[in-house]
Amino acid sequence: MTKNILLGHGSGGKLSHDLITNLFVKYFHNDILDQQTDASVLKPGSELISFTTDSFVVDPIFFPGGNIGKLAIAGTVNDLAVSGAKPLYLSASFIIEEGLPFKDLEEIVKTMSEEAEKAGVKIVTGDTKVVDRGKCDKVFINTTGVGALDIKRQKIGLGTEIKAGDKVIINGTLADHGMCIMSVREGLGFQAEIESDCASLNRMIGEVLEVSEQVKFMRDATRGGLATVLCELAESRKLGFEIDESKVPVKENVRGICELLGFDPLYVANEGKVLMIVGNNDAEKVLETLKKNEFGKEAAIIGEVTDEHHGKAWITTGIGGRRIIDMLAGEQLPRIC
Amino acid sequence: MTKNILLGHGSGGKLSHDLITNLFVKYFHNDILDQQTDASVLKPGSELISFTTDSFVVDPIFFPGGNIGKLAIAGTVNDLAVSGAKPLYLSASFIIEEGLPFKDLEEIVKTMSEEAEKAGVKIVTGDTKVVDRGKCDKVFINTTGVGALDIKRQKIGLGTEIKAGDKVIINGTLADHGMCIMSVREGLGFQAEIESDCASLNRMIGEVLEVSEQVKFMRDATRGGLATVLCELAESRKLGFEIDESKVPVKENVRGICELLGFDPLYVANEGKVLMIVGNNDAEKVLETLKKNEFGKEAAIIGEVTDEHHGKAWITTGIGGRRIIDMLAGEQLPRIC
C-alpha cells in the first residue's frame, strides 16, 4: 500500500479494489463480507428488526480511551441495544481526506474490527469515498446497524409503558467522553488525563433484559447529554421527572474540568452511558445486574418518574434548590462524536 | 429557521430538534419515521434481507438531471435492486458544512423525498452532523438500505449461475452521469447540456424479474463504469466476456465530450444503468421488457459470456480490432457520486 491515501483509492478502480482487499476485508472479514457483493444478504432470524444510522465526525480522531473507529462501532451498537434489539450487522462507510496516513486509517479499521468482535457484531458491507485535501477533515465514518428485535420488546424504544413511580437509572459517571475530547482539543494535558467512556453496552444491556421485563425505556446519553434525553422524553411522553443531582455520578477530575470550562455535566456527551427507566419493583435487581458488569460498576438510581409537572424534568440541586432541566439552546461542543 | 445552517443544528439540542421537525420529518414523514425513535422498528416480511450502504460526496451538489439528494436515494435503491431485492427502507445521514444555505438543504431534502416516493421506499431513520466551515464541502449524505430478498433470488448478487452463452444487456446509454458532472465542473456549458441519468431502477428491474427467472446477475455501473463491473466479474467468477463496442449505446453529445476530454465511455460513471447477465433463451424477452420502461428505452444486448480466456473481458472495437478491458488504474473522476 502507499504511505498516504490517494484520490485513486476512491475511484472504484484498481486502487479501490486494493484498499478493500488489503485493509477492509483483511480486518473486518467474515462469511458475509468476504463475498464482496454490493449488497449483503442477511438473515436476522426475527420478524422485527431495529435499524439505526450515525455519522461520526469527531475531532480529534484519536483520543484517550478510543478513536473515531471505536466510537463508530459502539455508537451504533448502543443505538440498537437501547431499542431492546440484539445488534447483529453493521455497515461501515468512510469519507477520507486525500493524504490521510495509511497507518492512521489502518489503526482505526483495526480498532473497529476489535470493537465489533467485542460487541459480537459483523461488519457486512461498506463504502469508501476519497475527497480532495481540505474538503473533509481526515476521516468521517458512517455506521448503520441492523439488530434482531424480540416482539415483546418493541415498545422499549417508544417508552409508552413508562408510568409514575418508575426509577431512572444510569450505568455510571457522566461527561467523561465530552470532557475527554474537550481537554484534548483545548490542549489541557496538564490536567489528570480524562478517558472517554466509549464502549459497546449491548452485552450489559442484554444481561439486564435477561433479569427484568420491567425495563420500559433505554437511551444512550450522547450529544446533549443526560439532560437532553430527559427533556425529549418528558416532552414527547408528557411525563415528569425528579432527578437528585447528588446521586448523579461524576468523576472528580471530570467535575473539575467541567467547572473550569463552565460546562454542566448533565449536558455533556457520553459514549458509554445508558439511561434506563425501570419499574419500581425491579429497580434494585437491575442496579445489581448493572454493577456486576464492567461498564456498570458505578450505576446509580438517580431519580424517578412523577405524575406532576408533566413535560418537564426537575432536578434537586446539591445545595437543596430545585430547577427545571431545559433543552440545550445552541451548540455546546461541536464534533464530539 | 435560520437562513444558513449553524453548528448548533448538529448539537443534539434545541436547534437540532427544530431542524429534524421542520425539515427532515416534514419532508420524509411516514408512519415509522414519525415516531422519532433512535432506532426504527422494521418488519421486512421476508426471511432474507439485502443490506447496502453508500456515502455521497458529489461535487457540485446540484447538476443537470438531479442533485446529491436524488443520487443518494437512487444509488442505494439501485444497489438493493440489483441484488434481486425489493427496496423497502433507507436511512439518511447528513454531514453538513456550517453556513450551507438552508434553502439548498431544503431543496436536497425535498428531492430525496420525491425520489423515495417514486422508488416506493421509506426513509425511516437519520442523523445530522454539522462541521465547522472548511471541514467538509457543503454536504455529504450517507444512505443505507434494507430490502426484502426472495430466497429464490439470493444468488443474483453472487453471479454464481452465470455460464457461457449468457447475454450481456445494458438498459441504455453509457457515461451520461460522469460527463454531466465533468462538464459542469469544468465549465463546459457551451456544449449541449448533458443530463445525468441518475434514476431509481427498482421498478424496471422488478418488471424484468417478473418475466424472467434467467436473470443471473445484475450490477449498476457506477464508479469505474461498465468496464469495471465486467473486469471484477470476469476476475471473481473466472468468466470471459466478449463485448461488441458498436452495440454499446452512447449519446452523440456524450461521445463528443468524452473524445474532447479523453475519456473512454466504458469507464465513466453512470447512475441509472444496470448491467444484466441473462440466460440466452430469455435475453430477447428481457430486452423487450426493458424497452417498455422509461429507463430502458435504449436497452441493448452488447455481448455475451464465453468459456474462452477466463478472467478477462474482451471488446471488439468499432474498427474491427480487439482489446482487453482492463481495470482502471488510478483516479479518473473524483467525487462523481
Convert chain A into a string of H (helix), E (strand) and C (coil): CCCECCHHHHCCCHHHHHHHHHHHHHHHCCCCHHHCCCCEEECCCCCEEEEEEEEECCCCCEECCEEHHHHHHHHHHHHHHCCCCEEEEEEEEEEEECCCEHHHHHHHHHHHHHHHHHHCCEEEEEEEEEECCCCCCCEEEEEEEEEEECHHHCCCCCCCCCCCCCEEEECCCCCHHHHHHHHHHCCCCCCCCCCCCCCCCHHHHHHHHHHCCCEEEEEECCCCHHHHHHHHHHHHHCCEEEEEHHHCCCCHHHHHHHHHHCCCHHHCCCCCCEEEEECHHHHHHHHHHHHHCCCCCCCEEEEEEECCCCCCEEEECCCCCEEEECCCCCCCCCCCC
pLDDT of B24 reads 96
What integer best gives the mean pLDDT of chain B? 94
- Is A153 part of the contact surface with chain B (CB cutoff 8 Å)? no
pLDDT of A189 reads 66
The partner residue sitting opposite B39, judged by closest CB among A79, A130, A330, is A79
Break chain A into its structural domains and give their ranges.
Answer: 37-153, 167-324
Query: How does DSSP classify residue B152?
Result: G
For B174-218, how does the pLDDT look when each residue is reduced to its tens digit (9 = 90+)? Answer: 999 999 999 998 887 656 689 999 999 999 999 999 999 999 999
The partner residue sitting opposite B228, judged by closest CB among A12, A147, A223, is A12
% chain B with pLDDT above 70: 97
For A19-30, how does the pLDDT look when each residue is reduced to its tens digit (9 = 90+)? Answer: 999 999 999 999
CA B289 distance to own-chain centroid: 20
pLDDT of B191 reads 60
For B213-245, how does the pLDDT look when each residue is reduced to its tens digit (9 = 90+)? Answer: 999 999 999 998 999 999 989 988 898 999 999
pLDDT of B310 reads 80
For B20-53, how does the pLDDT look when each residue is reduced to its tens digit (9 = 90+)? Answer: 999 999 999 999 998 888 899 999 999 999 999 9
Burial A275-284 (b: 16+ CB within 10 A, else e): bbbbbeebbe
Nearest chain A CA: its distance from B147 CA (Å): 9
Which ranges of B187-319 does DSSP label H, i.e. alpha helix? 202-211, 225-237, 252-261, 283-292
Query: How does DSSP classify residue B24?
Result: I
What's A167-324's CATH class? Answer: alpha beta
What's B37-153's CATH class? Answer: alpha beta
Contact (Cβ atoms closer than 8 angstroms) between residue B274 and residue B221:
yes
For B178-190, how does the pLDDT look when each residue is reduced to its tens digit (9 = 90+)? Answer: 999 999 988 876 5
Q: Flag whether the ipTM exceeds 0.90.
A: yes
Q: Across the strands, what pairs with A278?
A: A167, A215
The partner residue sitting opposite B131, judged by closest CB among A11, A51, A57, is A57
Nearest chain A CA: its distance from B190 CA (Å): 27
Q: Is the pLDDT of residue B331 over 70?
A: no
Q: What are phi and psi of B133, to 5 degrees?
A: -50, 130
Residues of chain A with confidence (pLDDT) below 50 = none
pLDDT of A1 reads 67
Contacts with A129 from chain B: Cβ below 8 Å: 55-57, 140, 335
Query: Are the folds of B37-153 and B167-324 the same?
Result: no
